[in-house]
Structure 1
Amino acid sequence: MKSQNVRRTFSLTASNAPDRVPFMISFSLVILAFFMVGSSRDDIVSLLIWRPLSAFLLALSIVSCGTQAWQRGKPLLILAMAIVTLVAAHLVPLPPEIWTALPGRGILVKTYEAAGMALPWQPLSMAQARTWNALFALAGPIALLIAVLAVEQRRHQQLLLLLLGLGFFSGITGMLQALGPESGPLYFYRISNFGMSVGLFANRNHQAILLATMYPLLAAYISLFKGRPDQLFFQRSMTIAGACLLVPLILMTGSRAGLILAVVGIGTAWWVYRKPVSQGRAVGIRAEHRSRLVGIGIAVVLLVVVLIVAVSTPALQRLIDTDPASELRVQAFPVIVEATKTFFPFGSGIGTFVETYKIFEPDSFISVSYFNHAHNDLAEIVMTGGLPALFLAIWVAGLGGIAFFALMRRRKARTEDPDFSAQVMGRAGFAVLAMLALASVADYPLRVPALTLYAIIAAVWCSNAYRLIRK
């Protein structure tokens, strides 16, 4: 009897091990990314730890769960390989007779001639170090993609809770930042929006984007709740409290884009939400009222406290004042278009925006700060990656469209359906991706590693929902 129990225990452990390893890789990558790489800059010190660690976890994920991930998410992995191939292609050395014929390379030829140097072999990239950085930056996202694809559906609700926890932790941290000294110890990056709520990020807009995307996640969380009726009432009240808390937390960032996305997030939350079914015996009216009062009381107290704090910070004035940075983004767009035309159809090289933009930047735009990104990711993708990168962007949009229409066809999913959890999380994932895409029109959230990994999880949720619909 004892030997049978031992064999049964060993069997259960062995059967769960393939799922536990990718889950631990996923969990570790997300935690590390949010606490170490909340900035898009390539000179932050934490990259010295993040890059080798993400490369190690990439190798581990390929070895431990690569086959399973390929079986479940072939379209996403093929897309990932295409992206890696494009970036790597921009680093392949080309003979002078080839690279000098590429559009926009005249300035390099003149530079070598002025220095009295013979034309060397040169890759397509105008700034090779930046492109190498872009290539190394793909290790973390691809490691997470492989690992999350191999995670069983039951584990994805734990990832949902993790993302919600990180989102609210970042929001509360941002509140403390706004209340504290302008360059206090809670700001984690040397270059940041000091005096504003940035949370675990370096940029207030990225903090606001994360908080806004919490709305569809909250809707998914309460839709998937399973418990007694009194627990359901309490959980629903706490979810509403969390949704209310997000409003002042977003206001404290001083981000106009965050407010717009918050409205979008609330709208998508209605689309994601499905009425949960409580389990177990019904509770009395007194217990039901008690649960509601406790939840509502907590919600009111939290909302009042945070609203008072939000009003006492300078972020609200920031929403009213004219933003010079926003004006510069509009003024710089024609310059970006000119650069894009010059380097089309091959682009200037993935990751080379800063160096390429400086070639075309008017003297009147020069200041103590520099334009680090186009603040329009599609424009920057085409400028640096050319026609192949544009094709990949269309590919991504096509996959998103296919997932959306599949989710819409399955809109009558019921709680008793075996794929109910996947459908709810698929909707939440699509909502997150749509909001990140919308934010990318005027910003660059997906160039922040933490938000990139967030988008990877959302994409896998969409993929899982589509895969189960096709079965």
Structure 2
Amino acid sequence: MNASPSIASRVPPLLLAALIILAPLFRSGKIPLATLLLELLAVAAFLALWWWSERRLVLGRLEVFLLAALAVFPLLQLLPLPGLSPLDLPGQTDYFIASQAAGVDRGATTLSIIPRETLSGWLVLLVPIAVYLLTRATSVRSLQKLVTLMLVVAALQAMLGLMQFGSSPSPMFYLGIELPSTGNAVGTYTSRNNFAGFLYLSLMLSLALFMATLGRQTGRTQQGRSLRERIQYYATADGHRAFMYGAVALLLLLAIIFTRSRAGIVLTLLGVLLVSATFSHRIGGGNAFGRMGVIVSGAIALAIAIGLGTVLERFTVSDSLSNGRWIIFDGVFVGIGQFFPLGAGTGTFQQTFARFQDLSQAHYLINRAHNSYLEWIYSGGIVALALILGFLGLYLARWFSLWKRGDWGEFRYIQVGAGLGLMLMLLHELVDYNLFVPANMVYFAFLAGLYLHPYREPTAPKQRTKPVAESAAARSEQALRKVSLLPQAGEPGRNPFMD
């Protein structure tokens, strides 16, 4: 028996709210118990979506295919391959010989070199898939509230980051996080680069909502208002909302600066310029401030970009491996060539990469490739490459259907802001690994669900107009009544008894 629709409609937003709040709370979800909690919530989400069948998911064929392939492929890497040995699979010979020398029985032959790690990687992968499906199953009104919740979480994290930077070198506000050195804003994350990634995702949403609400008011636009009316606007609820989103954006911008992450600051600079170019002609739903609004928003964005450029030169610091990424990439390319086209197995990078690690970095534990695309191809081979191209194609195709002429509703601003945030993180993955951090996986999937949501602008009700002939006849009838009932000006009144 299915639950009532009212209960079914509440479950996805409640589960999404729990994931948004809990995802970064415990070391950005990277410790085992935090990861387990997120995985349990993901399983609960799948059960809820299956149980309440009336919550139909409107997904395109390409979306269904890509999500199914993403969920099933790691399981295929765990299937035993009867009649084959690791000697028959590309890249596995050396690992098989080492296991035999150590007396370790690897069991049945699989595409994954370490099946246990692949199973663990598959369980983590369920989290973003569940978040995406929950987002698509949630109403637009509930999604707008969840976006506000995400901005609240981001603002709290940003304030914690500012306190961490201000209290340096004391580790008081680092909540027990062991870092190489204090003095950076990290929130509850273990990496300032990953923390910056979460902050610029939230910044794009806050800036989009700021542009949507600034000057938005029923009635005349800002161009047609007097100075007094413009000032009074900021005392209204709409004005308060615009001020709140602007304040949150400023807070997030400061926190990104104090992460001292070079990639984070560069991408934020790019994001601010893109927001100005995208929304300057659509401030307040339309072009509420006219050409002056376009000029002012462009000038502010340019000033912020110049300021961030100065910060980038004088304020940022590099981590110990930032200059050695190209050396890591060389080793990853060698590994891809060894394991291609089948890959080493999902989640096995850390355990298998030591074979390809450069001796100059032997004193480091290289747990990530610092380029998510290369690591995915290293682990998944040609299937991972096809999935990357498929998801990128889906992302690019959505821009053509999302961009509409005319005035935009507030949710479309959210979608465009989400699209810009996704773009920044996709660029960031060229030099980092945000999408291997559970918390950022949750937020990335949430923004992807917002961006690909099949939202349509509500059509304004058409005013019923009378036909021209009918309106003309009505005016003629009114004129005749006026002539017959009222004396005409300039004519003397006639007394019929005088005839």
TM score, norm. by length of structure 1: 0.79
Give the conservation status (yes or no) of the 8 Å contact 2:28–2:438: yes
2:422 is equivalent to residue 433 of structure 1: yes
* Partner-residue secondary structure (3-state), 2:90: coil
In structure 2, the partner of 1:297 is: none
For residue 414 of structure 1, the aligned residue among 404, 407, 417 is 407
In structure 2, the partner of 1:394 is: 389
The C-alpha deviation readout for 1:212-241, integer Å capped at 9, x for no partner, is 233321233234446683323443344333
Question: Within 5 A, what are the aligned runs for 1:235-314?
Answer: 235-270=241-276, 271-272=278-279, 274-276=282-284
2:362 is equivalent to residue 337 of structure 1: no
In structure 2, the partner of 1:357 is: 353
In structure 2, the partner of 1:27 is: 17
Counterpart AA for 1:57: A
Question: Within 5 A, what are the aligned runs for 1:58-457?
Answer: 58-64=46-52, 68-72=55-59, 75-95=62-82, 97-115=84-102, 120-180=107-167, 182=169, 184=171, 186-188=173-175, 190-192=177-179, 194-195=181-182, 196-225=184-213, 229-230=233-234, 231=236, 232-270=238-276, 271-272=278-279, 274-276=282-284, 319=316, 321=317, 323-367=319-363, 369-408=364-403, 410=404, 412-415=405-408, 420-457=409-446
Q: Tell me how far 1:140 sits from its aligned partner.
A: 2.2
Structure 2 spans left out of the alignment, 5+ residues: 219-232, 287-303, 460-499
Once residues 5 and 34 of structure 2 are traced to their aligned partners in structure 1, the CA distance between those partners, rounded to angstroms, is 36
Q: 1:69 to 1:427 in 2, by over 3 A?
A: farther
Q: Which has the larger radius of gyration?
A: 2
Q: Tell me how far 1:365 sits from its aligned partner.
A: 1.3
Q: 1:126 to 1:15 in 2, by over 3 A?
A: closer
Once residues 106 and 424 of structure 2 are traced to their aligned partners in structure 1, the CA distance between those partners, rounded to angstroms, is 46
Q: Tell me how far 1:52 sits from its aligned partner.
A: 2.9
Give the conservation status (yes or no) of the 8 Å contact 2:12–2:45: no
Once residues 239 and 351 of structure 2 are traced to their aligned partners in structure 1, the CA distance between those partners, rounded to angstroms, is 56
Give the conservation status (yes or no) of the 8 Å contact 2:344–2:380: yes
Give the conservation status (yes or no) of the 8 Å contact 2:19–2:38: no
Q: Tell me how far 1:120 sits from its aligned partner.
A: 3.9
Structure 1 spans left out of the alignment, 5+ residues: 1-12, 279-302
* Partner-residue secondary structure (3-state), 1:70: coil
Once residues 213 and 263 of structure 1 are traced to their aligned partners in structure 2, the CA distance between those partners, rounded to angstroms, is 13
Counterpart AA for 2:417: A
Once residues 75 and 181 of structure 2 are traced to their aligned partners in structure 1, the CA distance between those partners, rounded to angstroms, is 36
Q: Tell me how far 1:267 sits from its aligned partner.
A: 2.1
Counterpart AA for 2:257: L
Once residues 154 and 118 of structure 1 are traced to their aligned partners in structure 2, the CA distance between those partners, rounded to angstroms, is 55
The C-alpha deviation readout for 1:372-416, integer Å capped at 9, x for no partner, is 1111111111111100000000000010011012223x1x2414x
Q: 1:174 to 1:316 in 2, by over 3 A?
A: farther
Once residues 381 and 176 of structure 2 are traced to their aligned partners in structure 1, the CA distance between those partners, rounded to angstroms, is 32
Give the conservation status (yes or no) of the 8 Å contact 1:170–1:199: yes
Once residues 106 and 25 of structure 2 are traced to their aligned partners in structure 1, the CA distance between those partners, rounded to angstroms, is 44
* Partner-residue secondary structure (3-state), 1:373: coil
Give the conservation status (yes or no) of the 8 Å contact 1:160–1:221: no
Once residues 318 and 31 of structure 1 are traced to their aligned partners in structure 2, the CA distance between those partners, rounded to angstroms, is 31
Percent identity over the alignment is 24
Q: 1:117 to 1:423 in 2, by over 3 A?
A: closer
* Partner-residue secondary structure (3-state), 1:324: coil
* Partner-residue secondary structure (3-state), 2:80: coil
Q: 1:458 to 1:117 in 2, by over 3 A?
A: closer
Counterpart AA for 1:252: F
Give the conservation status (yes or no) of the 8 Å contact 1:429–1:462: yes
Once residues 45 and 153 of structure 1 are traced to their aligned partners in structure 2, the CA distance between those partners, rounded to angstroms, is 32
Give the conservation status (yes or no) of the 8 Å contact 2:81–2:108: yes
Once residues 125 and 212 of structure 1 are traced to their aligned partners in structure 2, the CA distance between those partners, rounded to angstroms, is 35
Once residues 390 and 175 of structure 2 are traced to their aligned partners in structure 1, the CA distance between those partners, rounded to angstroms, is 36
Once residues 328 and 45 of structure 1 are traced to their aligned partners in structure 2, the CA distance between those partners, rounded to angstroms, is 32
Once residues 432 and 179 of structure 1 are traced to their aligned partners in structure 2, the CA distance between those partners, rounded to angstroms, is 28
In structure 2, the partner of 1:7 is: none
Q: 1:428 to 1:245 in 2, by over 3 A?
A: same
The C-alpha deviation readout for 1:48-97, integer Å capped at 9, x for no partner, is 433334323332233236x6353346543432221111111111122362
Larger CA deviation: 86-95 vs 214-223: 214-223
Once residues 117 and 236 of structure 1 are traced to their aligned partners in structure 2, the CA distance between those partners, rounded to angstroms, is 63
Q: 1:272 to 1:18 in 2, by over 3 A?
A: farther
Give the conservation status (yes or no) of the 8 Å contact 1:193–1:204: no
Give the conservation status (yes or no) of the 8 Å contact 2:71–2:126: no
Q: 1:114 to 1:17 in 2, by over 3 A?
A: closer
Once residues 450 and 119 of structure 1 are traced to their aligned partners in structure 2, the CA distance between those partners, rounded to angstroms, is 33
Q: Tell me how far 1:137 sits from its aligned partner.
A: 0.6
Counterpart AA for 1:353: F
Counterpart AA for 2:354: K
Once residues 36 and 324 of structure 1 are traced to their aligned partners in structure 2, the CA distance between those partners, rounded to angstroms, is 25
Q: 1:111 to 1:223 in 2, by over 3 A?
A: same
Q: 1:265 to 1:139 in 2, by over 3 A?
A: same
Count of aligned residue pairs for this structure pair: 413
Give the conservation status (yes or no) of the 8 Å contact 2:28–2:439: yes
Once residues 62 and 84 of structure 1 are traced to their aligned partners in structure 2, the CA distance between those partners, rounded to angstroms, is 16
Q: 1:385 to 1:318 in 2, by over 3 A?
A: farther
Once residues 400 and 38 of structure 1 are traced to their aligned partners in structure 2, the CA distance between those partners, rounded to angstroms, is 26
